[in-house]
Amino acid sequence: MKKLVIASNNPGKLREFQHMLSPLGIEVLTQSQLGIAEAEEPYPTFVENAIAKARHVSRASGLPALADDSGICVDALGGAPGVLSARYAGDAPKSDAANNQKLLAALQGVADRRAHYYCVLALVRHADDPQPLIAEGEWHGEIAQAPRGDGGFGYDPIFWLSQLGKMSAELARDEKAQLSHRALALRILLARLSPA
């Protein structure tokens, strides 16, 4: 596979994918470069949304498409914000800072702050691919009491990695590219793509 379209307009995700895929000689296009509108994400699960986004972009572009559906799942909140992570504080407009503040407020006074980032990648070779490649990754940590760091995106400023003594937002890009939920899912996906 020499070329694929990323089914996302999220600049943080796009940077991560380009960083991880460019050494493999895969040309990464974005749906916005091709004038493709975002797909609906009506499903309650990450996997259903990822497949829907990949099929939408592949159908519109005529190219293989890779979609990511990911978010943060907090144990004490029954897995919320989950699939609503990007829109947790609303859509008008979407705001990482507002999402982080809403999550911190929801956990006010809560002792159990365990959480994990979860990512599902879906790759379709064509829009009606009967066997989309699916890979998933989890990255475990805790929700901190206050934001810190200016790297990454999403919930990275409040995602505490106790084994490293850092927030995800304090990691170097190469370090995050080795550890994150998205990096893990992508390694699994690329291993499945490689011939045996």
Comparison of pLDDT for 144 and 8, the residue scoring more:
144
Nearest in space to 53 (alpha carbons), one of 117, 1, 122: 122
- What is residue 19's predicted lDDT score, i.e. its pLDDT? 79
Which residue type sits at 132?
P
- Band of residue 154 on the pLDDT scale cut at 50, 70, 90: very high
Question: For the ranges 90-94, 127-131, 152-156, which has the lowest average pLDDT?
Answer: 90-94
- What is residue 196's predicted lDDT score, i.e. its pLDDT? 47
Give the residue-averaged pLDDT of 116-142.
Answer: 97
Q: pLDDT at residue 65 above 90?
A: yes
Comparison of pLDDT for 181 and 91, the residue scoring more:
181
- What is residue 109's predicted lDDT score, i.e. its pLDDT? 96
Residue 6's Cβ-side half-sphere holds a number of Cα atoms within 13 Å equal to: 25
Name all domains of the chain by residue range, CATH numbers in brackets. Answer: 3-193 (3.90.950.10)
Q: pLDDT at residue 108 above 90?
A: yes
Question: For the ranges 51-55, 70-74, 109-113, 148-152, which has the lowest average pLDDT?
Answer: 148-152
Comparison of pLDDT for 33 and 19, the residue scoring more:
33
Which residue of the set 68, 69, 96, 156 is catalytic?
69
| Virtual torsion, Cα 24, 48, 155, 150, nearest 10 deg | 30
Residue 57 neighbours by CB under 8 Å, 6+ apart: 5, 6, 7, 31, 36, 39, 65, 67
When the pLDDT of each residue in the chain is averaged and rounded to a whole number, the result is: 92
Give the residue-averaged pLDDT of 173-182.
Answer: 89
DSSP track, 30-80: ETTTTTPPPPP---SSHHHHHHHHHHHHHHHHSS-EEEEEEEEEEGGGTT-
- What is residue 160's predicted lDDT score, i.e. its pLDDT? 98
Cα–Cα distance between 6 and 19 in angstroms, integer? 13
Nearest in space to 2 (alpha carbons), one of 21, 24, 26, 23: 26
Q: pLDDT at residue 195 above 60?
A: no
Q: Please, is 19 exposed, middle or buried when counting C-beta atoms within 10 Å of its C-beta (0-12, 13-18, 19+)?
A: middle
Active site (annotated) includes residue 69? yes
- Band of residue 194 on the pLDDT scale cut at 50, 70, 90: low
Q: pLDDT at residue 144 above 50?
A: yes
- What is residue 18's predicted lDDT score, i.e. its pLDDT? 82
